[in-house]
Amino acid sequence: MLDLKKIRENPDEVLKLLHQRNTDYQLQPILDLDSQQREMQSVRTELQARSNEIGKIIGEKMRQVGANPQREKIQNLKEEGNQVKAKLAQLEPEERELKAKLEALLLELPNLPSETTPMGKNETENIEVRRWGDEFIPDGSHILPHGEIGEKLGIIDSQRAVKVAQSRFVALIGMGAALERALINFMLDRQIEAGYIEVMPPVLINSEALKGTGQLPKFAEESFKCENDDLWLTPTAEVPVTNLYSQEILEGEKLPIYHCAYTPCFRREAGSYGRDMRGLIRLHQFNKVELIKLVRPETSAEEHEKMVNNAEAILQALKLPYRVIELCTGDIGFSAAKCYDLEVWLPSANTYREISSCSNCHDFQARRANIRFKDKGKKGTDYVHTLNGSGLAVGRTMAAILENYQQCDGTIKVPDVLQSYVKTDCIG
């Protein structure tokens, strides 16, 4: 959520930044509602002050003289109290409605891009920051797409998974399951070494949590919802882990907080019919190890770079070629002020595919989820900055391994760092 005060005081600047996202958001309705609301508030506040005053006077009189004498004066005051109350009863719902409308509009506004986010209208204007591991790019001529080789080796079974669920689900069998589990453990072990505290959060989460990180109200159709409860299947661990701290005032010295979390993630993938129908790239359920940070505002840019490095370290350890993309203003996500994507080399497609997305949300989520910090001895509070990044998407990492480590005989070499986890050096 954007700072209403900032919108009020610098509407032109805010609007300019919003438009960098290549959208046509309007601020005027918000500004109008805001000034109406504030006007109404000052009227209401005065009435309430009078009402409080009447209550006090009556209280005093009752105590001084008991209930008996001066009854008339008290009656008059009570009468006035009733009149004030009647006016308030009229004003209050109106003001509440204004506030609700204002809030609804504010919740629909995306974050402002960071001043360091490159300008651009869509993904074609993203910037490649660096590339790693060109020397590990295999000769692609013999390489089968990961889905195909996986089915062939009997470690991915999508046909049977469809019977149990529907399309865009897979079952991992035998070494497939083992490799997935190995990747999860490996990623967690590395990130814990890098200083992240592991969390196993709920994966069924309520609406408030989704609102806190920005998935609601705008993107309801992206998530699976339980019919009988206010619970949703988490689309990413970012949601439950960040919201662990909602409504809290953290002690300044407890920051930064680093968390990593393995969870399955669930996404409806509405609007992507027909895309990536084979393999592990786009599933309704996939595993991910997520990195989450809550930091002091002045350190968030630096913490963001470090987080990207932590994600890259996994790809480097696995010797998977990748590149780092800095998303432009037209392509960053709703909650992000700045975002880097990591894209891994997929030889069968002869292209890089997103395997991690690392966002700095500044105080956008912290405002929605109301996560603040306070320094001892200083007065007042400030919103933390929240960051999240995949470290990494496990299914896509598996896909990358099945392709980049595919050998001419159709077997898969197990990356060195995983061999102790799966207890073999070759699959197939």
Binding site for RNA (CB under 7 A): 4-5, 38, 41-42, 44-46, 48-49, 51-56, 58-60, 62-63, 77-78, 81-82, 85, 96, 249, 372, 374, 376-377, 379-381
Residues 327 and 323: their CA atoms lie apart, in Å, by: 12
Q: Which of 21, 168, 190, 267 is catalytic?
A: 267
Nearer to RNA, 59 or 195 (CB): 59
Contacts of 53 (CB under 8 A, 6+ apart): none
Q: Which of 348, 357, 359, 390 is catalytic?
A: 357
What per-residue string of b and e applies to 296-315 under the rule 16 or more CB within 10 Å gives b? eeeebbebbebbbebbbbbb
Nearer to RNA, 99 or 319 (CB): 99
282 in active site: yes
Q: How far is the CB of 240 from RNA (least distance, A)?
A: 15
C-alpha pair distances (Å), 326 with each of 309, 339, 346: 13, 6, 19
Residue 390 token pair: 């995949």
354 in active site: yes
Asked whether the beta carbons of 341 and 116 are under 8 A apart, the reply is no
Nearer to RNA, 90 or 351 (CB): 90
Nearer to RNA, 232 or 352 (CB): 232
Cα-based torsion angle of the residue sequence 244, 247, 248, 249 in order, rounded to the nearest 10 degrees = 150
Q: How far is the CB of 238 from RNA (least distance, A)?
A: 22
β-strands 338-346, 351-360 pairing:
antiparallel
Nearer to RNA, 92 or 157 (CB): 92
Nearer to RNA, 58 or 313 (CB): 58
Q: How far is the CB of 376 from RNA (least distance, A)?
A: 6
Q: Which helix (H) or strand (E) holds 261?
A: strand 257-266
Residues 73 and 349: their CA atoms lie apart, in Å, by: 87
Contacts of 162 (CB under 8 A, 6+ apart): 169
Q: How far is the CB of 317 from RNA (least distance, A)?
A: 33
Q: Does residue 380 sit in helix, strand or coil? A: coil
Nearer to RNA, 43 or 197 (CB): 43
Q: How far is the CB of 243 from RNA (least distance, A)?
A: 14
Neighbours of 88 (CB within 10 A): 17
Residues 35 and 411: their CA atoms lie apart, in Å, by: 68
Q: How far is the CB of 155 from RNA (least distance, A)?
A: 26
Nearer to RNA, 71 or 130 (CB): 71
Q: Which of 8, 44, 50, 282 is catalytic?
A: 282
Nearer to RNA, 274 or 377 (CB): 377
C-alpha pair distances (Å), 411 with each of 159, 169, 183, 345: 22, 24, 18, 19
Return the beta strands (E) in 84-188 as ranges. Answer: 127-132, 156-157, 171-172
The alpha carbon of 92 is separated from its chain's Cα centroid by a whole number of angstroms, namely 34
Strands of the sheet with 382-383, listed across from one edge: 249-251, 372-374, 382-383
Asked whether the beta carbons of 3 and 367 are under 8 A apart, the reply is yes
Question: In degrees, to the nearest 5, what angle opens at C-alpha 19 toward C-alphas 13 and 23?
Answer: 150
Outline where 326-411 has alpha helix (H).
364-369, 394-404
State phi, psi for 407 to the nearest 5 degrees.
-105, 165
Q: Which of 168, 353, 372, 396 is catalytic?
A: 396
Catalytic residues: 267, 282, 354, 357, 396
